[in-house]
Amino acid sequence: MHSHELPPQLDIIPTEQWGAHLPAHVVEQLPREGVTVFAVTDDASDTAEFSARYGFGLEDCANTIVIRYRKDGAEHYAALVSLGSLRLDINGAVKAALGAQRLSFAKREAAVEHSGMEFGGITAFGLPDDWRILVDAAVMERAQVVVGAGIRAAKLLLSPDVLKQWPRVEVAPLTLS
């Protein structure tokens, strides 16, 4: 599939309707260029089901994982964006990239409360200003990736360049090769 071709079954949400579908704080930060928003059924929101139903390979599906970590005696949150086909190197690369003393996956309730998004739909756009956003270097090698849209009923299709140009994103190797 060429980067400009979309699978025919995608239910595209036009830009002017984003506000009616997505959380306001996500829409505020979403670039208007290079992002396609499309609806998905809730039961196909999780990566494996989504991949099977919509025909995107796991290597083109990027998950956003929320991490809680300690650094300089304080608690912080970070979002990690990585491909569904790769495993995060939590105690090695991620810990080093964050300069964290300790880290853990954020509890579901905390991730939802702090991000203002639905679990399983968390996205890099619209996160609190004090969160770091780390994107695995492998994401940048894909022609396009599918990421969360803040809710389970929609996804974003974008070129990794959109993430790279987002001033808050830090690209680093985060996964086990």
Q: Over the stretch 31-64, which tens digit does the pLDDT of each residue have?
A: 999 999 999 987 887 778 888 888 899 999 999 9
Q: Is residue 4 part of a domain?
A: no
Q: Is residue 50 part of a domain?
A: yes
* Number of domains comprising the chain: 1
Q: Is residue 177 part of a domain?
A: no
Q: What is the pTM of this model?
A: 0.91
Q: Is residue 19 part of a domain?
A: yes
Q: Is residue 6 part of a domain?
A: no
Q: Is residue 87 part of a domain?
A: yes
Domain that holds residue 34: 11-171
H helix intervals, the chain: 18-21, 24-29, 47-54, 95-98, 108-115, 160-165
pLDDT of residue 83: 96
Q: Is residue 1 part of a domain?
A: no
Q: Is residue 176 part of a domain?
A: no
CATH code: domain of residue 82: 3.90.960.10
pLDDT of residue 53: 87
pLDDT of residue 3: 47
Ranges of residues in the chain with a pLDDT under 50 are 1-4
pLDDT of residue 137: 97
